Amino acid sequence: MNVPTWVWLLTIGATTAFLLVDVFVIGRRPHVPSMGEAARHLTLYVALAVLFGLGVWYFAGPDYSAQFFAGWLTEYSLLVDNLFVFLIIMAKFAVPHRLQQTALMVGIVIALVLRGVFIAVGAAAINAFSWIFFVFGAFLVYTAVRLFRDYRRHDESEDLPDNGLMRFVKHRFNATDEFRGTRLTVSEHGKRLITPMLIVIVALGSTDLLFALDSIPAIYGLTHEPYLVLTANLFALMGLRQLYFLIGGLLRRLVYLNIGLAVLLAFIGVKLGLHAMHENTVPFINGGQPVQWAPDIPISLSLAVIVGVLVLTTVASLVRSGREARAEPAAPPAATGEKAEQGTDDA
């Protein structure tokens, strides 16, 4: 796929303009978006992604278009898993609802920058080392096994995600006890203090960095085109903030999400391994010669598997959640009775 330089520049310029609008327009008007507002924006971003994919079909052919849609859907599904962690971070730090949109926006900006670096590093590694696909594939299969084990353990822990960067920020700097709007630092009594907002942003950005370790190898298993990898990530991240507010309650009903993601990552990991064997140059594998029996899984099959797994996971999750909700006993109307008794006692 030959992407002209001006297309790269136009894509980066449009993304920069989008981020500037977010920072200087939305960032200065922190508020809780209504369901209608979130739905409209999310619909717009999804429509733009679909139009972009159709444009890729028109200019580059159906194969590259399928690669984009497969990558976009995979990134979106992995980002939905991110939202669970984001919900925990917001709850644990008690981020005011009107400030959550700003925190998410800054976290997304950090994610875009970090993923851009990861995409460039991944492309350079692929060009320099053909065996890197073995590493990517093994890592994705390992991640799939870990996700499945997490589900089997029924790990519902909502402990605050922690990492070295968060520990450094919390221990190295003094922080205020309360949020100060969207400000990241304040000066009090001649000392510079950070606010909880800065810690939240660090938590969101560094957590997404950990998730990118899974998502970037996964999408390179679906397309080797850096431009499609970049645009799939851009379109997935653009609707993340609206998705957070629109389906925050629905996320907890996706009880089989980890299983679906485990299946997807395992499938892509196997696909990467087969591709690496098909183009093998590693000396101790088949004498450095390609393994003839190892097939390349076509992108059309990959797209069908991705769509099928996501649909099945969502439907099965909603069916189970609905069944459990109906099975739960209704709360006894004790409140009215208790109030009546209290009123009698008082009398």
Q: DSSP labels for 200-255?
A: HHHHHHHHHHHHHHHHHHHHHTT---HHHHHHHHHHHHHTHHHHHHHSHHHHTT-T
From residue 67, alpha-carbon distances to 45, 100, 224, 304 in Å are: 19, 33, 9, 11
Query: Binning pLDDT at 50, 70 and 90, where does residue 64 land?
Result: very high
Of residues 267 and 336, which shows the higher confidence score? 267
198: in domain: yes
| Residues 241, 21: Cα–Cα separation, whole Å | 14
What is the pLDDT, as a whole number, of residue 329? 63
Of residues 178 and 229, which shows the higher confidence score? 229
Q: What b/e readout covers 48-69, taking b as 16+ CB neighbours within 10 angstroms? A: ebeebbeebbeebeeebbbbbb
CA nearest 163: which of 197, 210, 108?
210
What is the pLDDT, as a whole number, of residue 30? 58
What is the pLDDT, as a whole number, of residue 252? 64
CA nearest 219: which of 210, 211, 228?
228
What is the pLDDT, as a whole number, of residue 8? 87
pLDDT surpassing 70 at residue 308? yes
- pTM for the model stands at 0.73
106: in domain: yes
Domain hosting residue 32, numbered range: 11-324
Tokens of 40: 């409209």
Tokens of 332: 């006894």
104: in domain: yes
332: in domain: no
pLDDT surpassing 70 at residue 331? no
Task: Identify the top-confidence range among 181-190, 219-228, 318-327.
Answer: 219-228
What is the pLDDT, as a whole number, of residue 135? 83
| Residues 85, 83: Cα–Cα separation, whole Å | 5
6: in domain: no
- Greatest extent of the chain over all pairs of C-alpha atoms, in Å: 93
Task: Identify the top-confidence range among 205-209, 233-237, 336-340.
Answer: 233-237
What is the pLDDT, as a whole number, of residue 144? 83
pLDDT surpassing 50 at residue 263? yes
What is the pLDDT, as a whole number, of residue 342? 47
95: in domain: yes
244: in domain: yes
> Structurally, how many domains does the chain consist of?
1
Query: Binning pLDDT at 50, 70 and 90, where does residue 50 land?
Result: very high
